[in-house]
Amino acid sequence: MTQILTGAALFDGTTIRPGLALAIEGDRIAAILTEAEAPAGAIDLNGGVLAPGLIDLQVNGGDGILLDGSATVDTLARICAAHARLGVTGILPTLITDTPQATAAVIRAGIAAAKARVPGFLGLHLEGPHLDPRRHGAHDPALIRPMTEDDLAALIAAARALPALMVTLAPASARPDQIAALRAAGAVVSLGHADCTLAEAAAAHAAGATCVTHLFNAMSALGSREPGLVGAALSLPLACGLIADGVHVHPETIRLALAAKRAGAVFLVSDAMAVAGTDLTEFHLGHRRILRRDGRLTLEDGTLAGADLSLPQAVRFMIEQVGVAPERALAMATRIPAQVIGADRGRIAPGLPADLVHFDADWNLTRVWQAGAPVQAN
């Protein structure tokens, strides 16, 4: 079945290009046409911007489900489907610090989901348990622990079996040789939940870390005498995930970071929790109650616990509140995260998956396509 989409400017992953139409054949992009070449019967999008489906590398849950040790293929499929309705057609479901048994169960489910070709499943993100207890945030400090050789072997096997594996760790809990082994196996090593120095972060980067998890949050701050992990993130060629909701990071801080970033790229993440795509007002993270109030998710003591955010909302925030050019904001949610995990998507080009989203002139999400099929947008 051929579909022709016309009437919207086309963001190809780098540039917004007016006057074009897009041909979809089955589940793939077939061709980019001029509007004059669009045949009668084309779908008129009536303005706005047609972009690649959004990609989120930090998704803890959705549709009322939090990823945990009870995960199955169906669990992962439900989370992926919930985010597709929010415009995110590719995700890394994310397990935060948990027991070795829970981690192993999630890895098994992820490998099975990859074999089953679950729509939207791009791999896994394991955020912990090898973190720094001094920067545990909403993670259970009782479960944080150094990486053992058994842990390393399990992660190496997972990296080889999954389409992509991101591992967030802290230099305090993982040695440079362990980081190097993970990188050699194909894992994306991201530094986060760390109270490290610039020198410690630089050593981890030299060993193979290529990314930083939720920039500014749960990490050593930029100081006059010690740059910390924030300073490392801004000065080293590290890709940086960013929660752009105005709660986790102030708009002016984002502007300063984008101006200061010398190398590497910044990409958007939602850090979404179980409430994504629902009207739930609370849920449980292990034995702890998480409250949803005024655009925030917090523990009962007020500690932030993930974000009440969708990636289209983050794109709009970057454009309207931070003042980023639309091309850059869209790239931060499409091409850049795809590049971070080595996935050939996040762009509009012939032969790529027909995962697409449409924004109206006010940057509201109006339509979603996954593998060429329309998805009912939330």
First to last CA, the chain: 25
CA 60/CA 283 separation, integer angstroms: 13
Tokens of 199: 């020198």
Q: Kindly tell me the sign of the dihedral angle through the C-alpha atoms of 244, 249, 252, 253.
A: negative
Round to whole Å and give the CA distance between 339 and 353.
15
| Widest Cα–Cα separation across the chain | 65
Torsion of CA 243, 309, 188, 159, to 10 degrees: 160
- Helix count (H) and strand count (E) of the chain? 10, 23
Helix axes 198-207 and 176-185, enclosed angle (nearest 10): 40
Of 271, 279, 301, 308, which residue is the catalytic one? 271
Amino acid at 30: A
Token output for 317: 């925030």
Please confirm, yes or no, whether 271 is among the known catalytic residues.
yes
Contact 339, 14 (CB under 8 A): no
Cα separation, 84 vs 378, in Å, equals: 9
Q: In what order do the strands lie in the sheet with 356-359?
A: 16-17, 9-11, 49-52, 356-359, 365-370, 373-375
Instruction: Give, in order, the Cα–Cα distances in Å from 341 to each of 91, 162, 213, 228, 336.
Output: 11, 11, 13, 25, 9
d(CA 182, CA 126): 13
Cα–Cα dist 291/359, whole Å: 30
CA distance 197 to 135: 13
How far apart, in whole angstroms, are the C-alpha atoms of residue 334 and residue 53? Answer: 7
- Token pair, residue 311, equals 């990636």
Catalytic residues: 271
